[in-house]
Amino acid sequence: MALGPLTEAEARELIGSGAGAMSEDDVAWMLEHSGRWPLLVQIGCEEWHLAREDGQTGDEWRAEALRRIAPFAHLLPLEPNG
């Protein structure tokens, strides 16, 4: 089975299916940096949830999410200058 990126609506549904309410800013960041790939969305959501469990309320989780999705960079579109 070949699975590609989710639609934006599907990715938002996956993000919203977890415990806790992610801010729209965090959701937008997640959509942008995951390319809407299910695995990368899940990694990002996991880091967001782990940060909340540790009492973090800011965006510190993003650095760890980027570190964990880096091995999958080949799935993501190139940045305009990249």
Instruction: Kindly state whether residue 70 falls inside one of the protein's structural domains.
Output: yes
Q: Is residue 59 part of a domain?
A: yes
Model-level pTM?
0.86
As for how many domains the chain has, the answer is: 1
Is residue 18 in a domain?
Answer: no
- 52, exposed or middle or buried, with CB in 10 Å at 0-12, 13-18, 19+? middle
Asked if residue 66 is part of any domain, the answer here is: yes
Q: What is the pLDDT of residues 34-77, one digit of tens each?
A: 999 999 999 999 999 999 999 998 999 999 999 999 999 998 87
Question: Binning pLDDT at 50, 70 and 90, where does residue 78 land?
Answer: low
Asked whether residue 57 is domain-assigned, the answer is: yes
Give the range of the structural domain holding residue 63, as residue numbers without chain letter. Answer: 31-74
Whether 65 maps to a domain, the answer reads: yes
User: Does any domain span residue 13?
Assistant: no
Cβ pair 19, 49 in contact under 8 A: yes
* 36 inside domain: yes
